[in-house]
Chains A and B, each alone.
Chain A
Amino acid sequence: MMSAAANNNRFHPLKFGLWLGIASIIMLFAALTSAYIVRKAQGNWVEFRMPPIFWLNTVVILASSLTMHWAVISFRKMKENTFRIALSVTLVLGIIFMLCQYLGWLDLGNRGIYIDGNPSGSFVYVISGVHAVHILGGLIIMAVILIRSFIKAFNPNKITGVEMMATYWHFVDVLWIYLLIFFQINLS
């Protein structure tokens, strides 16, 4: 395939499209977090501590980024089984992240911070919830690719899709870290 070498030097159009999609997601969260700042400046703002489990969560999602990277490397080396294991671990870590997120919300509720209470709490619920929807999207993509890797023959050509999945996953990971730091600075 003559195009292979040449194309390696160029940005793949779909990967480029993914980055544009990421730019628009960044704008969504920029809007939500700047709304938070504007509203906070107005006063009438209940302060509370972040659920401690959010820190555990951060460790979980960072680990999942590592295993995702492991998955991509094994795919590149065409180690089919390692790829399946690495991706499965990533998927499980992602699910654990979602569960911890849910536990974090329960924790907030137990401390009297409800979604329909003061906007300081509502913002945490809504922003982390919108982030969780993006995680969920990543989990669905992962599940599809994982299932496909079990039922279809290994095809090294699928690397573009795997790399795009990884890029997206690293992005929602970094996004979470941004949100965590943002909440940590603004809540206390």
Chain B
Amino acid sequence: MIDPAISPATHKVFTGDSTHHQDSMGEIHEPHNGHHEHHKENFITKYVFSQDHKMIAKQFLITGMFWALVGGLLSVVFRVQLGFPNQAFPILETIFGKWAPGGIISPDFYYMLVTMHGTLLVFFVLTAGLSGTFANLLLPLQIGARDMASPFLNMLSYWFFFMASVVMMASFFLPDGASDVGWTAYPPLSGVKESSPGASAGMDYWLVGMALFIFSSLLGGLNYITTVLNLRTKGMSMAKMPLTVWALLITAVLGLLSFPVLLGAAILLIFDRNIGTSFYLDNIYINGHALPNDGGNAILYQHLFWFLGHPEVYIIILPAFGLVSEVLATNARKPIFGYRAMILSMLAIAVLAFVVWAHHMFVTGLNPFVASVFVFLTLLVAVPSAIKVFNWIATIWQGNIRFTPAMLYAIGFVSMFISGGLTGIFLGNSSIDIVLHDTYFVIAHFHIVMGVSAFFGMFAGVYHWFPKMYGRLMNNTLGYIHFWITMVGAYMIFWPMHYMGLAGVPRRYYSFDAFQSFNMFGGLNQFITLAAMLVFFAQLLFLVNFFFSIFYGRKLKTQNPWESNTIEWTTPINAGHGNWPGELPTVHRWPYDYSKNGEEYIPQTTPLREGETGGH
């Protein structure tokens, strides 16, 4: 028995007809006369404290875009220091005041910028902005549910993220600035308040912000999993789910199991910082005096951190896998190649995610035997990754490709993922990693394979599903310009870094003045900085396109602009809360029947014809 007051799964009725709704399990529901009597939505319930998954998706997306803009801008500012070291730009002093005395970015400010760039991009943009947006938008729509299992928890998930955002934003305005101890927040630097300006209040704000963020992620994640496993419409078996749904489901499982570990690490860190415990701190001398902490183990933090940290990079990339698979198949007008292999490889990646964390720690004095085990497990990740890449290429092979901006980004994603994935094989070997660790090679690797790739997946998703979100189309020309500048520009930024890294240029350095051997890269650094600025400003084209199109974009004339098979395109153009005005659609076939038996596309809701099996 479902009690409407406790079970919001299908509450808040949608069409005014509240006497019977087929719920997602295909059963008739009792009238929804629970405590949610108010069906009329006002501005606050529709746009602010909305419980509609589609609105929450937009909230995540726009908040994520805000953070991408801030995080990207931070990188442009610190690239100025790297490209034009110790050159005065008076405008920097005008904007940043004491952080850039005489127009030169101060070392403390540099580390603050780097730290917050990492934190914001990894967690606030590529986790919340990507997973939060597309899990919310696509899960209920693609499995045929009226909303998430708990719309209320879903709303809380966004507002915890919002609070985390406010705390992180506030930390920029502290007298000593935001955290500057690196996005990984390694102790002892992060564990001792006097260690650097940002390690005091800035780090406290960082920890509070991250704790709120983790709650947001957990609330979201358990909702996504419950929704996918329990609220699928009639006929939508697991083996008929679009790959986006599979990807977002696996992402949510990863997050649910790994974020609590980060919380555990953060709790111990908070005690070390504020209560005087010694979990991570041992024998520390600062400004000439010894700290009382005794018996801590700083490496312990790294184990806990990377137990989250490694699944975290798959939390970032898996949603992109799903979005790209969907966009590629739809726009190549071909079935996805190796549907089951795609799912199995994602599952394999998810399992491996939990047993490779120590490859981030090869230089911490890890026992070489243990390291060899982690090398083996890490290199295993290449197998499912290669299967996926092969399948994507096989999907578009001889396809009747429609080069929409979304499609370009999906193809660009595959390119980026290959480039970045190959350097992962270098770094997965402990013997090579020990040489390359903490050089620009690592920066190049993870920015391409995780940062740029995930962004490309996100752009593919936004261009593709924008019509679903706003009932209008984005401008294609701006989309093409945006794509080509970003694609070429991203390689211009990160490709040269491989060479610098191989030559031993260390990462995290504020300036290379004191190192003769790295002076030869001055010109290359300038080039990278200029490319970074170019790419950053190209993103403004996207922002203009996005916000302009929300209000003035070409209105959608048909429900299904991309002639796609998945069932989110069977909802009305501007669907209300509840998604489908009448009964929920029934699914009869997998989502990739493109160009089958001479038919351009066969939506999932089309009943099987004679002689057809539903599968693949």
Residues of A within 8 A of B (CB): 1-4, 6-8, 10-14, 16-17, 20-21, 23-25, 27-32, 35, 38-39, 42, 44-45, 115-116, 118-119, 122-123, 126, 130, 155, 157-161
Contact between chains at A4 and B1 (CB < 8 Å): yes
Which listed residue (B3, B275, B304) contacts A157, Cβ 8 A?
Answer: B3
In angstroms, Cα B153 to Cα A16, docked, is 14
A114-B150 Cα distance, complex, nearest whole Å: 43
Q: Report the interface size for chain B: residues with CB under 8 A from the other chain.
A: 53
The secondary structure that dominates the A interface is: helix
Beta-carbon contacts of B292-322 to A below 8 Å, as 1s and 0s? 1011110010011001000000000000000
B174 an interface residue at 8 Å Cβ cutoff?
no
Cα distance A25–B214 in the bound complex, in angstroms? 12
Q: A42 to B28, Cβ gap below 8 A?
A: no
Shortest CB distance B119–A (Å): 20
Question: Given A42-B297, A157-B1: A16 and B226 within 8 A (CB)?
Answer: yes
- B279 with A13: CB separation less than 8 A: no
Besides the known contacts A25-B260, A39-B297, A44-B295, 6 further A-B residue pairs in the complex with CB atoms under 8 A apart: A13-B226, A14-B7, A14-B150, A24-B222, A122-B279, A160-B7
The reply to whether A157 and B5 form a contact with Cβ atoms under 8 Å apart is yes
Contacts of B256 in A (CB 8 A): 20, 23-24, 27
Q: B80 near A: Cβ within 8 Å?
A: no
Q: B304 to nearest A CB, angstroms?
A: 6
Does B278 sit within 8 A of A, measured CB to CB?
A: yes
Beyond A11-B230, A13-B9, A126-B271, whether A21 also contacts B3 by CB under 8 A is no
The docked-state distance in angstroms from the alpha carbon of A126 to that of B269 is 11
Could you list 18 A-B pairs, sorted by A, with CB under 8 Å? A6-B27, A7-B1, A10-B230, A13-B150, A16-B226, A24-B218, A24-B221, A24-B256, A25-B260, A27-B258, A27-B261, A31-B260, A32-B264, A32-B267, A39-B279, A42-B297, A119-B278, A155-B5
Against A, the Cβ 8 Å flags (1 = close, 0 = not) of B126-148 are: 00000000000000000000000
A141 nearest CB across to chain B (Å): 12
B residues 196-237 touching A (CB-CB < 8 Å): 218, 221-223, 225-227, 229-231
Which has the most chain A C-beta neighbours within 10 Å: B150, B267, B292, B304?
B267
The 7 closest A-B pairs by CB, nearest first: A116-B276, A31-B264, A157-B3, A28-B260, A20-B222, A27-B260, A31-B261
Determine whether the beta carbon of B267 is less than 8 Å from that of A130.
Answer: yes
Closest B-chain residue to A120, C-beta based? B295
Complex: A39 Cα to B231 Cα, angstroms: 44
Question: How many Å lie between the Cα of A139 and that of B273 in the bound state?
Answer: 29
Q: Are A2 and B5 in contact (CB under 8 A)?
A: no
B267 near A126 with CB under 8 A, answer yes
1/0 contact trace for B1-24 toward A, CB 8 Å?
Answer: 111111101000000000000010
A17-B263 contact, Cβ under 8 Å, with A24-B256, A119-B279: no
Asked whether A16 and B5 contact (CB < 8 A) given A3-B28, A122-B279, the answer is: no
Expressed in whole angstroms, the Cα–Cα distance for A80 and B428 within the complex equals 62
By a CB distance below 8 angstroms, the chain B residues around A17 are 149-150, 153, 222-223, 225-226
In the complex, B268 has a CB within 8 A of chain A? yes
**Cα–Cα distance between A92 and B131 once the two chains are bound (Å):** 42
Residues in A whose Cβ lies below 8 Å from that of B6: 14, 157-158, 160-161
Q: A20-B256, A24-B222, A116-B276 are in contact. Are A3 and B7 (CB under 8 A)?
A: no
Chain A residues, Cβ within 8 Å of B227: 13
Taking the closest CB of chain B, its distance from the CB of A22, in whole angstroms, is 10
Contacts of B307 in A (CB 8 A): 31
Chain A nearest CB from B145 CB (Å) reads 10
- The reply to whether B300 and A158 form a contact with Cβ atoms under 8 Å apart is no
How far is A17 from B227 in the complex, measured between Cα atoms in Å?
A: 9
Partner of B264, one of A35, A39, A119: A35
Residue of B nearest to A130 (CB): B267
8 Å CB contact of B268 from A35, A160, A161? A35
Minimal beta-carbon separation of B277 from chain A (angstroms): 4
Q: Is A28 touching B263 in the complex (CB atoms < 8 A)?
A: yes
What chain A residues lie within 8 Å of B536 (beta carbons)?
none
Nearest neighbor of B272 in chain A, beta-carbon distance: A122
| Closest B residue by C-beta to A123 | B279
Q: CA separation between A3 and B21, bound complex, in Å?
A: 11
Interface residues of B in 387-423 (CB under 8 A from A): none
Contact A35 B279 (CB under 8 A): yes
Q: How far is the CA of A29 from the CA of B261 in the complex (A)?
A: 8
Does A38 lie within 8 Å of B277, measured CB to CB? no
Could you say which residues of chain A place their CB within 8 Å of the CB of B259? 24
Which B-chain residue is minimally distant from A122 (CB atoms)? Answer: B277
A119 touches B296 (CB 8 A): yes
B563, CB-defined interface residue at 8 Å: no
Q: How far is the CA of A5 from the CA of B211 in the complex (A)?
A: 41
Check if B447 is an interface residue, CB within 8 A of chain A: no
Q: Is B438 an interface residue (CB 8 A)?
A: no
| Pick from A2, A30, A159: contact of B27, CB under 8 Å | A2
Residue pair B3, A159 in contact (C-beta under 8 Å): yes
